[in-house]
Amino acid sequence: MRYGVLGTGIVGAAIASRLVALGHEVKMGSRAAGNEKAVAWAADAGTSASEGSFADAASFGEIVFNCTSGSGSVDALESAGADNLRSKILIDVANPLDFSGGMPPTLFVSNTDSLGERIQRALPEVRVVKALNTMNCEVMVAPEMIAGDHTAFICGDDEAAKARVRELLGEFGWPSQRVIDLGGIEAARGTEMFLPLWLRLMAAEGSGRFNIGLLTAADPEAG
């Protein structure tokens, strides 16, 4: 498969490298082709890896990841171009973090709206699936690093797109029963609003190498 990965930060690099390792072709996109980090990543990642503009990466990918910073995501996707993304699955990994007030960041959209919904509204013909935004990027692509049955969430309005993302998460190492479908893209409010707790857990743990697991009743027949 061909994937576009928008964003050259640690999240984009982690996703892009994992996709290449799985045998896919990946083009990393940034605001302008020739971005220093993207060029370095592509040179390091081998012949299946390339780089270009947001539009280049969106055009290249059969599936596209949004790994840009939340504050720049809508602009980046508009720069990528609705025509280049039309009907494609866009896996939105970004979070609407606002660092302007210092640490820990707050959210620049929450509660009655979400970044996932904003992206879906900005690009109504794109099949947005929010996924993996509730964890560190190391955990996203190597879930086996965490001990125990921990959980990933997906949401979006297109059922077939969510089924396809579930398969891809399986390639990353996520058993299907640990990928929880929360419903439509509106549920992105839930996963994005987890970030304030995640940030405090990171501070308490002194590491981002953790995840949450969904644990259910010891005896489902009881009560």
With CB under 8 A as the rule, give the number of residues binding a copy of itself.
Answer: 51
Tell me if 69 sits within 8 A of 9, measured CB to CB. yes
Which tokens in the block code for residue 64?
């596209």
According to CB under 8 A, which one of 103, 144, 177, 221 is a site residue for a copy of itself?
A: 144
27-66 footprint of a copy of itself as x/- string (CB under 8 A): ----------------------------------------
Binding of residue 103 to a copy of itself (CB under 8 A): no
According to CB under 8 A, which one of 112, 160, 177, 221 is a site residue for a copy of itself?
A: 112
Smallest gap from Cβ 77 to a copy of itself, in A, equals 24
Binding of residue 166 to a copy of itself (CB under 8 A): no
Binding of residue 102 to a copy of itself (CB under 8 A): no
Q: What order of strands is seen across the sheet that includes strand 89-92?
A: 49-53, 25-30, 2-6, 63-66, 89-92, 127-131, 152-156, 179-181
Binding of residue 72 to a copy of itself (CB under 8 A): no
**Tokens 């893209």 map to which residue?**
185
Site stretch for a copy of itself (CB under 8 A), options 21-29, 78-86, 162-170, 174-182:
174-182
Q: Which is nearer to a copy of itself, 47 or 217 (CB)?
A: 217
First to last CA, the chain: 48
Nearest to 107, CA basis, from 212, 191, 11 = 191
Q: Which is nearer to a copy of itself, 129 or 187 (CB)?
A: 187
Amino acid occupying residue 7: G
Smallest gap from Cβ 134 to a copy of itself, in A, equals 8
Q: Which is nearer to a copy of itself, 23 or 148 (CB)?
A: 148
Backbone angles phi, psi at 215, to 5 degrees: -115, 140
∠ CA 87-143-196, nearest 5°, is 80
Which tokens in the block code for residue 170?
């399986």
Torsion of CA 140, 70, 123, 38, to 10 degrees: -70
Binding of residue 150 to a copy of itself (CB under 8 A): yes
- For 158-176, the three-class secondary structure string (H helix, E strand, C coil) is CHHHHHHHHHHHHHHCCCH
Site stretch for a copy of itself (CB under 8 A), options 16-24, 73-81, 141-149, 167-175:
141-149
Which tokens in the block code for residue 21?
């390792």
Binding footprint of a copy of itself on the chain (CB under 8 A): 101, 106-107, 110-112, 138, 144-151, 153, 155, 180-183, 187, 189-191, 193-194, 196-201, 203-205, 207, 209-220, 222-223
